[in-house]
Structure 1
Amino acid sequence: MAGGPPDSTALAGERSGNSAPPLKRVSGSYVAWLMVANFGASLAMMVPLAYGLALRISELAPGHEEVLGYVTGSAQLVYIILSPMVGLWSDRTRSRLGRRTPFIFLGTAIGIVGLLIIGLAPAIPIIALGWVLGMTGWSMSGAAIQTLQADKLPEEQRGKVSALTSLTTQIAPVVGIGIAYAVSSNTLLVFLVPGLIGALLLVLLPVFKPEGSSRDFVSTSDVTLKKIVTSYGFSPRKYPDFAWNWLGRFVFFIGLYFNTTFGTFFYAQRLDLPVREVAGVVTTIGMIGIVAAAAGAILGGFLSDKLRRRRLFVVVAAALFVCGAVTEAFAWSLAPLIAGAVLMQLAIAVFATVDQAIVFAILPDRAEAGRYLAIVAFAQKIPSAIAPLIAPLIIMIGAVGVEKNYTLLYLAGAAFALIGGLVIMFKVKSVR
């Protein structure tokens, strides 16, 4: 990759007008620090989702798995409401640190406070409050990192860099749960240790690759009440590819969250283990799945760049997800659970990598990347809010005693993921 600092050049052109500046290739060192920061954000966010919250809920409300869905869903709904305002605020931030960097620092601070509250919470409502803060903070930091990519990456690098950052997203939960398992005798440390490590890795990006001042940038428009309200939407008629990709992404993530939100409880039931001991199983499965996730991210990103084909990889990812979900739906021992999980991790890595490249290519206005990426995030955040609220209803269908109907949940997830992939494949026209 070309040498030289990418920090200020990519945005310098915005100082003279409202249009986004031409994009130049970013350096290999910048990509490396992006990966480190993205790993940190994913580490801090995913450990509570994949293990920590289930552990706390099993301590305070044993036998009530549905509470996990309510806690995670409520936090997602709050961030869904806030995210377009955060994106609009980010686009118009004028500071010595730039537009995105202040939100990396602010989000990290809020996230740490949220984890501390969860670790010390004496009751479920306090856990819910803590995760609202944690979800908001870490999502804000992660969104800032993604928006930096939209600000800086040219088309020829989008697939590759999306592959590399997606890879860190896949690896982070596995490493994080391993760290949490090592300190699982102390519930507070289960949250704080991965969170503090993630926070440190996040702030290294602006320290070593400063964004550059945005104080001289020309604002695209004043922030008015009307602008805030309209920032929550866009015209599907005017931007049909953006709209269809949003819908396909939304449906795919419904399926994904059906099959991941209750992972800890699912493995505990299928393997007849206490919830506290599931972290070791999840870590083992995740370590094996890292290879699949790495292959999916790298092959999906690099091959889609080389072949200049994105949509084909999206539908392949959906098909792989179906295979993994069906395998897990009927698995009652470790070997098929591992096989299903590996296929699903492969699928998620391919989809996340390639669809992110599609998103960068079809943004309606790159000068307002923060706002439009917040709208794209709706397609992931809304499912992450409503799927955990719907899933408890599904697992109760035909449930016998304490055994929930995870088979039906995983089959439903497979169906949604396939439909989402097909929507993107056949309806997004401007990207091959």
Structure 2
Amino acid sequence: MSSSVPVYQPGPGEISDETAPIRNLRLTGQHIDGWFVARYITALIGIYIALITPASVTLSIRVGQIDPEGKAGSLALVASVGAAAALFSNPVFGALSDRSSSRFGQRKPFILVGVILGSLAVFAIGLAPSIALVAVGWAIAQIAFNAAIAAAIAILPERVPEQLRGRVSGFMGMTGQVGVVGGVYLIQLVGNEGAGMFVWPAVLGLALVLPFVLTLKEAPRTRKELGPVNLRHILGSLWINPFQHRDFGLMWAGRFFVWISLYLLTTYKTYFLVDHLGYTLDDVAPILTLAMLILAICMTISSISGGWISDRVGRRKIFVVGASLLFVVAMLIVGFSTSTTGFLIGIGVAGLAQGLFMGVDYALVAQVLPDQKSEAAKGMGVFNLSSTIPQTIAPIIAPVLLTIGAVGGAGNYPALYLGAAAFALAGAVLIQLIRGVR
């Protein structure tokens, strides 16, 4: 990585018109080189391992241990409480991080304390004797880890210069997927019995975060520079006026529609295989495992290569629009597939689309943030809502789409994925309307 991300040096005339990266370079003396990026990406992977491993594996196991008879309803309750906590904590703590005047810096305390508190909450889940306490623990974990994520994501617009953002964004795009795979593999090693299944992912996550936090140099800011922190400011962290900041609003809305399309695919892929391709709940697991492996490989390849090419050509929008259109193709392939091969091809195309989108969209939104010098974490926190809200909306939309033209009790899956293709196309159109970025 060090060979692909060169040390950044500001040009002679840049100090007079400082961007956030130039200001931080001048005040801290910390250059953005390959080792900085490696530590940064590793820290993000660590946060996601600590957060996503419970979400995808161990939380459901713990709920099943406590309430074996009503585990489905109990897990839905716990997951809903956690999702609500995550929805608000990311932008709120992002804004609080922006206004932090701590002598330890604006981002470091939130990243480190967030991971530590989140880890303690996850430990508590492993020992919790009731579903109510599991829900409380999961809500605290979501709040803490999302506080860390909000501060960490702000590093991109705040510290990484524009000409390197595509490459860094490309690596960022695959961190969540690496976190999922790494967490699942770790659980296979340590087992899923006792509190250890919660302890070890959190310990590994903290170990991966520490090298970045301990070496990150920040220039403390005064309360006079930052302005006051009050209730109005905290509530304002959930909103950026899309009419006043048109390009940011278009990027937010475009990602929102594309992510609805993605969640319609990933949430209902099991039922598609069972109801449309004839699998049963007993024999569908191997196909789902293969599908997720294909998705992860394709996503990683397109994310890293897309970000690198984006930097080379100096363009962002064309890649994100292209990825949105690739989602349209993926949904059509899946929707009209009549075989497992067709389904897996569609999943592969969706992986390429998701990787390309995530590999460049952070770099794109960093260029249209309303105020990246003073409110980078707030802006990135609000932007992240464009991918978290669709998780709630997609399951509401899907049953409606499945009833269109349905015959008998079987859902109309071509209608579902035609609808998903329409959402992705709407996202492409909205992103194409952005004017301030090539």
2:413, 2:130 → 1: CA distance?
27
Shift of 1:281: 6.1
Tell me which of 37, 49, 54 is aligned to 1:48: 54
Is the contact made by 1:110 and 1:136 (CA closer than 8 Å) also made in structure 2?
no
Q: Find the residue that maps to 1:260 and give its secondary structure.
A: helix
Q: Is residue 28 from structure 1 mapped to residue 34 from structure 2 by the alignment?
A: yes
* 1:344/1:259 CA distance change after superposition, 3 Å: same
Shift of 1:215: 5.3
Tell me which of 98, 109, 116 is aligned to 2:116: 109
Give the TM-score of the pair, scaled to structure 2. Answer: 0.80
Shift of 1:183: 4.5
2:295, 2:170 → 1: CA distance?
16
Match of 2:391 in 1: 384
Q: Is residue 339 from structure 1 mapped to residue 335 from structure 2 by the alignment?
A: no
Q: Is residue 238 from structure 1 mapped to residue 244 from structure 2 by the alignment?
A: yes
Match of 1:134 in 2: 141
Give the TM-score of the pair, scaled to structure 1. Answer: 0.81
Letter in 1 for 2:79: T
Is the contact made by 1:258 and 1:391 (CA closer than 8 Å) also made in structure 2?
yes
Letter in 2 for 1:354: V
1:332, 1:39 → 2: CA distance?
37
Letter in 2 for 1:172: G
Q: Is residue 315 from structure 1 mapped to residue 301 from structure 2 by the alignment?
A: no
Tell me which of 217, 228, 248 is aligned to 1:222: 228
Is the contact made by 1:177 and 1:283 (CA closer than 8 Å) also made in structure 2?
no
Q: Is residue 96 from structure 1 mapped to residue 77 from structure 2 by the alignment?
A: no
Letter in 1 for 2:176: T
Alignment of 1:29-428 (within 5 A): 29-55=35-61, 60=67, 71-121=78-128, 124-183=131-190, 185-186=192-193, 188-207=195-214, 209-214=215-220, 219-261=225-267, 271-273=279-281, 278=285, 284-329=290-335, 335-366=341-372, 367-388=374-395, 411-425=418-432, 427-428=433-434
How many matched pairs? Answer: 418
Shift of 1:273: 4.7
Shift of 1:372: 1.4
Residue deviations 1:395-427, cap 9 Å, x none? 7997999x88877655544432332222112x2
Q: Which runs of 5+ in 1 are unaligned?
A: none
Residue deviations 1:312-364, cap 9 Å, x none? 21122123223334444566876555433322222111111211111100111
More off after superposition, 159-168 vs 321-330: 321-330
Based on CA coordinates, which of the two structures has the bigger radius of gyration? 2
Letter in 2 for 1:232: L
Name the Cα RMSD after superposition.
Answer: 3.8
* 1:80/1:305 CA distance change after superposition, 3 Å: same
Residue deviations 1:63-92, cap 9 Å, x none? 986765654344232233333331221012
Letter in 1 for 2:263: Y
Q: Which runs of 5+ in 2 are unaligned?
A: 26-30
Q: Is residue 430 from structure 1 mapped to residue 429 from structure 2 by the alignment?
A: no
1:405, 1:120 → 2: CA distance?
43
Is the contact made by 1:40 and 1:197 (CA closer than 8 Å) also made in structure 2?
yes
Is the contact made by 1:104 and 1:141 (CA closer than 8 Å) also made in structure 2?
yes
Shift of 1:429: 1.0
Shift of 1:153: 1.0
Shift of 1:49: 3.4
Match of 2:28 in 1: none
Residue deviations 1:216-245, cap 9 Å, x none? 575231123332333322332321111111
2:155, 2:347 → 1: CA distance?
31
Shift of 1:105: 1.5
Is the contact made by 1:73 and 1:384 (CA closer than 8 Å) also made in structure 2?
no
